Chain A
Amino acid sequence: MRDTITRAWRSDFMWTFRRSPVAVVSFFVVALLVLSAVFAPLIAPHDPFNPATLNLMNGFSQPMEPNAFTQEVFWLGTDDQGRDVFSTILYGMRISLFVGFAAVLFALILGVTLGLIAGYKGGWLESVIMRVADVQLTFPAILVAMLIFGIAKGFTPVHLRDQMAIWVLILAIGLSDWVQFARVVRGATLVEKNKEYVQAAKLIGRSPFAIMLRHILPNVLSPVLVIATISLALAIIAEATLSFLGVGAPPTTPSLGTLIRIGQGFLFSGEWWILLFPAITLLALALAVNLLGDWLRDALNPRLR
């Protein structure tokens, strides 16, 4: 066990990691944010998603100053409904991260599957899949996500909309993002499928499914990992954008984007903290994930060393 850790620590991968201060800082920022989101119920002083615990009279408390009516003090102030901004950021980040991870996972599975099939099978199947991908690429991802969100919302029964909103978001962002994966995987598959080991596998009679899954997939995974990391940052931003536009997470269970939308209405009147703190959190999260993705791309690409 100790040996494995030592070996991992001394590996090329870790060596480049230790040598890149940007990567180290980004890693710790992401780790800190993800951990505080995961353990939000333990850290947060309030549960902003439980309306029964809110006191409207706490509304618009300034950061670090006692509220005029209730004398309660909130680190980062409260929003218009008396929700503690700090707690709401933690809980909101959970939604943002969950939607981000789930959407990327969905896009990854869909994109990799279609990319593998397109690359390996070729023929009309490839044409259909790749033309659909091309057409979708001509639209901005956020527009595609809004379209899917709108259609899905129309189909969900009214009384389930709030519960379904998160899943619809994941579906919308995931469906708008699979093309990246499909294109890269198809390209890599085209290269791999003519190599000797694939030929050998074919000769001994393995099924196409097994060849794709067991032989080709492991060899095309490293670019997928890089895209996934960068897609995560994009998915978090996409979720925030949709929620900011009012079509994402509902106001009673706000994500970071919903919080920024709420805060934006109070910017003129001097309640800057409702907007500023969620915005900084979103910025830090997206930037750190993105920088980490950039570093990963460089580290996994031998030609860039």
Chain B
Amino acid sequence: MAHQMMEPLIMRDMTGAMVPALATEWAPSADDPEVWSFKLREGVTFHDGSEFDSSDVVFSYNRAMTEDSDYKELLASVKEVRANGKYGFEIVTNGPNPIMASNLTNLFIMDEDWAKANNAVKVQDVEGGEETFAARNVNGTGPYKLVSREPDTKTVLTINENYWGKDEFPMEVTDIIFTPIQNAATRVAALLSGEVDFIQDVPVQDLGRVSSTDGLKVITAPQNRVVFFGMNQGDADLTTDDVEGKNPLADKRVRQAMNMAINRDAIKQVVMRGQSQPAGVAMPPFVNGWTAELDAVPANDLDAARALMADAGYGDGFTIQLNCPNNRYINDEAICQAAVGMMAQIGITVRLDARPKAQHFPLINKLETDFYMLGWGVPTYDSEYIFNFLMHTKGEKYGSWNGTRFSDADLDAKIESLASETDLAKRNETIGEIWAVVQEEILYLPIHHQVLNWGMAGKVNTIVAPDDAAKFKYFTLN
């Protein structure tokens, strides 16, 4: 949605490659490796007609670095941002950051004057239930502008006639009516009846039906998203289990047993109907740092798992609660239900608590769950992004989605060093070392990489973007 109306400095096209958006050139500065300099596009205007220049970029970046922002981890290594003339912009980092550019593809540029005039300078505190003017209104530079917005009901966009890239992109879609349909079956029915022309997340059980319908098609591609379970292994005792005085998940043998008990192939064959790629590591295959060895699927060996459980002193099993979303990932609740059965095989009684995503994710964020499902997409296509959010000790700048309570000073130091390591070979070596620890400690139980299915009317032509973001300016119609 946001990508239709707003733009970052650098964006990813439908294949995932980085292309110029509001910046035309970018590179680390020749004389100082700690400075990235950007040349901004000239002659761009916001939807309200005001001019785009470096002050808007400085404003937007400073806004993205505030406490309530969801983007602060991406800018964790940034010391300062500054304008360099009207169309120049510089980012100063704590030590050189060779992959800075790939962190910026989802950082949208807002109009400074508009934000100030509408009291939207501060980022809204979503967990605190805040909503600012910017949540329902937008003034961007993107190819489409907002006509009306009723959250959860309907959002209407129309083409931006003054868009800088009007002649550069197909821009054949002129009006976008975005209708959120929560229920998957209803969504498919809407496509089948011709009520909508394009849907994301076609339920896997309906793929055959949609693609065999005249005038409709489904296109499929692997997604840049991995789904996994997280476990509270740091706390001394758990609140949602039945073991008194100790934490069964803190025992590595238990985590190993759980890892072995999950039959990823059965989940793929039955729950996902073949539409997934079983995973051995909590990292999508597109990401720098991914190797086939890391992603090798752990063996499903129940006897060995039971032996490990007995070894750890849990031969009679234990009870624990699993928190799951029921409307976020493809078949999320069904996967969790399947996991309940698989855990039961090794004596772990799992109580499933499936909730809508709005109630599920705060549990992880506020450390109120001991065993949970989470999925992770990697917009930067680099392991550092995963480490910063999921592996680093949870704190101010890092680890905001690390619900495992895992904390290791050495690992944290290694993760932080990645941001400023200019020697890419050495950097990749450190990435490998960090993954080795993560895998050795069984920080997460990876399930699978999702496969994307977009359903659309036959006249719509596009490819599936691995980040699941449909950027309509690239779509063609026939």
Contact = CB atoms under 8 A, between A and B. Distances in A.
A158 B240 contact: yes
Contacts of A251: 333, 337, 352, 354
Contacts of A266: 205
A69 B269 contact: yes
A56 B334 CA distance: 11
A101 to B, nearest CB: 26
Interface string B84-114: 0000000000000000000000000000000
Interface in B321-339: 321, 333-334, 337-338
B364 interface: no
Contacts of B333: 251
Contact of A56 (B205, B266, B354): B266
- State the main secondary structure of chain A at its contact with B: loop
B257 to A, nearest CB: 15
Contacts of B20: none
A269 B337 contact: no
Interface in A35-85: 50-52, 54-57, 59-60, 69, 80-82
Contacts of A54: 341, 344
Nearest to A58: B270
Given A51-B341, A158-B321, A268 B266 contact: no
Interface stretch (B157-165, B183-191, B282-290, B437-445): B183-191
A270 B188 CA distance: 14
Nearest to A250: B352
Contacts of A267: 185
B271 interface: yes
Contacts of B240: 158-159
A193 interface: no
Contacts of A52: 341, 344-345
A192 interface: no
Contacts of A69: 269
Interface in A241-276: 250-252, 264-271
Nearest to B331: A80
A56 B352 contact: no
Contact of A81 (B209, B321, B337): B337
Given A56-B263, A265-B205, A50 B344 contact: yes
Given A56-B271, A81-B337, A251-B333, A269 B205 contact: yes
Interface in A185-199: none
A269 B271 contact: no
Given A158-B321, A161-B353, A265-B203, A81 B185 contact: no
A161 B353 CA distance: 9
Nearest to B188: A268
B456 interface: no
Nearest to A54: B341
B270 A59 contact: yes
A59 B266 CA distance: 9
B340 A252 contact: yes
A55 B271 CA distance: 12
A162 interface: yes
A80 B334 contact: yes
B338 A57 contact: no
A269 B208 contact: yes
B35 interface: no
Interface in B344-388: 344-345, 350-354
A250 B345 CA distance: 20
Nearest to B369: A158
Interface string B287-313: 000000000000000000000000000
A52 B353 CA distance: 18
B270 A60 contact: yes
A57 B344 contact: no
A264 B184 CA distance: 11
Contacts of A51: 340-341, 343-344, 350
Contact of A159 (B184, B203, B266, B321): B321
16 contacts: A52-B341, A52-B344, A56-B342, A57-B266, A57-B270, A59-B271, A80-B334, A162-B352, A251-B337, A252-B340, A267-B185, A268-B185, A269-B208, A269-B209, A270-B209, A271-B205
Interface of B: 184-185, 188-189, 203, 205-206, 208-209, 239-240, 263, 266-267, 269-271, 321, 333-334, 337-338, 340-345, 350-354
Given A54-B341, A268-B206, A270-B209, 20 more contacts: A50-B344, A51-B341, A51-B350, A52-B345, A54-B344, A56-B266, A56-B267, A56-B270, A81-B341, A82-B270, A158-B240, A159-B239, A162-B352, A250-B352, A251-B337, A252-B337, A252-B352, A267-B185, A269-B203, A269-B206
Nearest 7 CB-CB pairings of A with B: A269-B205, A52-B344, A59-B270, A51-B344, A51-B341, A56-B266, A54-B341
